[in-house]
Amino acid sequence: MEFLSLLDITFFLLAALGALVGIIFGAIPGMTATMAVAVCLPLTYALGLNHGLALLLGLYVGGISGGMVPAVLLNIPGTPSSITTTFDGYPMAQKGQGERALKVCVIASLVGGLISAIVLFLFAPILADFSIKFSYVEKFLIIFLALTVIASLSSNMLVGIFSGVIGVWLSLVGTYSISDGGNGKTRLMFDFMEPYLFEGFSLLPVLIGIFGISTILLEAEKGVKSGLTNEKIKIGKGAGFSLSVFKGRLTNLVRSSFIGTFVGMLPGVGGSAASVLAYTQERNLSRDSSEMGKGAPQGLIASESANNALTGGALIPLLSLGIPGDSTTAVLIGAFTLQGVQVGPLFIPENADTWYVMMTALVFANFVMFFLMFYAIKYIAKVIMVPKHILFPIIVMMCVVGAYAINYGIMFDVWTLLIFGVLGYLVQKVGLEVAPLIIGFILGSSAEVYFVKTLESFGTLSIFFTKSPIAVVLWILILASVAFSIVMRLKSRRELKADLPASRLNKEELS
């Protein structure tokens, strides 16, 4: 218990400050947890390892949680992993339940964060050994499983899959990156585009372009009518929040937290896959998922508990293999190297004090996040009362900062905002679906790497079925996921006997 002497007031203040700043970063569209950690990294040199880690872990937890705010209130995912939060959060906000939605999210986040912290604390080395059983084959199958969400998420399966494949296509533009073991050659572009598109489109600008800028374009087209962002939203009115929302949702909460932790610990699968996967599973496994995507709290629970569970999960490979589990922990590694501390399989046994300190900071930051958010929500939710002619220019401006800063200052990322803003507008206008497209984009490039690399090493497609028992289990999950979505579609079709003539997809009604 020697580490207790390392915990002073400053330690807790820094963790709390980190959570606060993180929440603010996460809540601003375009700013992410990764960015928050990156900009504060130099500060940690002066703070020393333990205090530095308190600050950074606070930022990490806060940043991931903060992403829920714009996702629910503005339909813009504040961080890539809160994309599935928009599916149910924004419809709830439109029904006047913004505050309720956020409270559900905060509680789910806390539970997710704590469950993953416990898992990290108790099982990190064992899980690290398990995670290295996932080679290219199994990682491809995980991505594939997450992609099956497209089938159940889309309002029309054919159009949804088509949109998803377009998303995958867009993610392939650029080089087949050397840092993924590719040959570094460009494809899917003309020569004159090469200076700009060499590295392809970055995720964050694409995301905020397609959600943020295109929403503004759709509003502009309608003349930015109402002064308020959404006059229908009555804060505090509508269905109030009570803990009964969570009744019967315990399985969902726990399952999603474990999915988040698990996906977080697989290096290279990507944080956004966690919430997507949790959302898919809730959709497939719950008895009453027909309301999901239209404003069901269960969707929020799945999404937010999974993305906060990511924090503990992503720390597992970092601390027991020396390998970051997601983009934020990749930056976090810098804090260790700056202090000359090695992370690797012997980190925990050799730095027991630091290990306990980190666990304390992680758990504490989760509670601080909870209290800050839970009691501030009433005020945060008022953002939507700001008149649009004030709010929209600020959103555009912050999106610009986020896009420019995400890769440390690349102007093309800012233009990506506009390109995908216009694309997102067109996509919605011609009746394609945004959510599948963006999921295809997020998962597309890792699907490629794992698929091609598997075939390069094994030279046969049969390896996807025969590699390991894990692969077989994943195939069963994939088949189940597809089967569920087909069955559900047939069921809802039978219920909706009044068949609508081949109308275009009912476009998502944007406020």
Partner 1 sequence: MKFSKTISVFGSAVLMASLAAGASIASAADGPLRGNIRVVIGSTSTGGDTYQNSSIVVDKLAERLDLNMKVDAVGATAAFRALDRDSRGNTLMIFHDQSYLGYLYGVEGYDNIFEKYTVGPTVAINPGNAYLVPKDSPYQNMTDVMDAVGNGETVRVAIQPGGVSEIGFSAMKNAVSIEHPGMEDNLVAVNTGSQADKNQQLFDGQADVINGSVQANEQYTRLPEDDQKAMRFVWLTARNGTIEQAPEDGMGQTDREQLLEFVEPNVTVTMGDSENFTFDKEFFFLYNKDMDPAIVEQIDTALEEIYAEGEIQEIQKNSFFIPNFKPSDEAAAYLKDKMTRYEGIINNIQ
Partner 2 sequence: MESGLSTLLSVSIDFETSHLFFPRIIHWLLACLFLLVLVFRVIPFLAAVRRGEHSLPIIGESMDVLRFFGTLALIAAYFYLMAAIGNLFPYTGYGFLFVSMAFVLLMSLLYMHERTRKNLGIAVVNAIVAPSLAWFVLAKLFNITLP
Contact residues: partner 1, CB under 8 A: 38, 41-42, 129, 132, 135-136, 175, 177-186, 195, 198-199, 267-268, 317, 321-324, 330-334, 337-338, 340, 342, 344-347, 407-410, 449, 453, 456-457
Structural contact between residues 252 and 286, judged by C-beta atoms closer than 8 angstroms: yes
Taking the least distance from each CB to partner 1, the nearer of 98 and 402 is 402
Nearest distance in Å: CB 208, partner 1: 19
Answer for which of 96, 125, 182, 268 binds partner 2 (CB under 8 A) is: 182
Hey, which residues does 35 pair with through a beta bridge? none
Site string for partner 2, 15-54 (x = CB under 8 A): --------------------x---xx-x------------
Structural tokens at position 300 = 């929020």
414 binds, among partner 2, partner 1, none (CB under 5 to 8 A by kind): partner 2
Q: How far is the CB of 195 from partner 1 (least distance, A)?
A: 6
| Shortest Å distance, C-beta 453 to partner 2 | 9
| Residue with Cβ nearer partner 2 (320 or 485) | 485
Q: Which is nearer to partner 1, 93 or 331 (CB)?
A: 331
Burial 216-249 (b: 16+ CB within 10 A, else e): bbbbeeeeeeeeebbeebebeebeebeeebbeeb
Distance from the first to the final alpha carbon of the chain:
55
Burial class (CB in 10 A: 0-12, 13-18, 19+), 68: buried
Could you count the other beta carbons within 10 Å of the beta carbon of residue 374? 15
CA distance 191 to 212: 30
Q: Which tokens in the block code for residue 275?
A: 């919430």
Q: Which of residues 355-414 bind partner 2 (CB under 8 A)?
A: 388-390, 392-394, 396-398, 400-401, 404-405, 408-409, 411, 414
250 is a site residue for partner 2 (CB under 8 A): no
For position 433 contacting partner 2 by CB under 8 A, the verdict is no
CB closer to partner 2 out of 376 and 455: 455
Between CA 311 and CA 264 the distance in angstroms is 7
Q: CA 252 → CA 113, 282, 328, 499, distances in Å?
A: 15, 6, 26, 33
Of these, 4, 122, 132, 224, which contacts partner 2 (CB under 8 A)? 224
| Binders in 190-219 for partner 2, by CB under 8 A | 213, 216-217
Q: What is the DSSP string of 81-134?
A: GGHHHHHHHHHHHHTT-HHHHHHHHHHHHHHHHHHHHHHHHHHHHHHHHHHTT-
CA distance 338 to 365: 23
Q: Residues in contact with partner 2, total (CB under 8 A)?
A: 73
- Pick from partner 1, partner 2, none: which does 492 bind, CB < 5 to 8 A by kind? none
Tell me how far apart the alpha carbons of residues 381 and 81 are, in angstroms, rounded to a whole number. Answer: 20
For residue 497, the partner it binds in partner 2, partner 1, none, with Cβ less than 5 to 8 A by kind, is none
Among 8, 221, 291, 350, binds partner 2 (CB under 8 A): 221
Q: How far apart are CA 494 and CA 246, in angstroms?
A: 30
> Measured from the CB atom, is 329 or 366 closer to partner 1?
329
Select from 6, 7, 118, 161 the one that contacts partner 2 (CB under 8 A).
Answer: 161
* Residue 121: count of CB within 10 angstroms of its CB: 16
List, in sequence order, every beta strand (DSSP E) within 158-249: 174-175, 186-187
CA-nearest of 345, 306, 346, 313 to 328 is 313
When CB distances are held under 5 to 8 angstroms depending on the partner's kind, the choice from partner 1, partner 2, none that residue 421 binds is partner 2
CB of 129 to partner 1, least distance (A): 7
- Provide the minimum distance between the beta carbon of 409 and partner 1 in the complex, in angstroms, as a whole number: 5
In the list partner 2, partner 1, none, the entry touching 263 (Cβ below 5 to 8 angstroms by class) is: none
Smallest gap from Cβ 323 to partner 1, in A, equals: 4
Task: Pick one of partner 2, partner 1, none as the site partner of residue 338 (Cβ within 5 to 8 A by kind).
Answer: partner 1
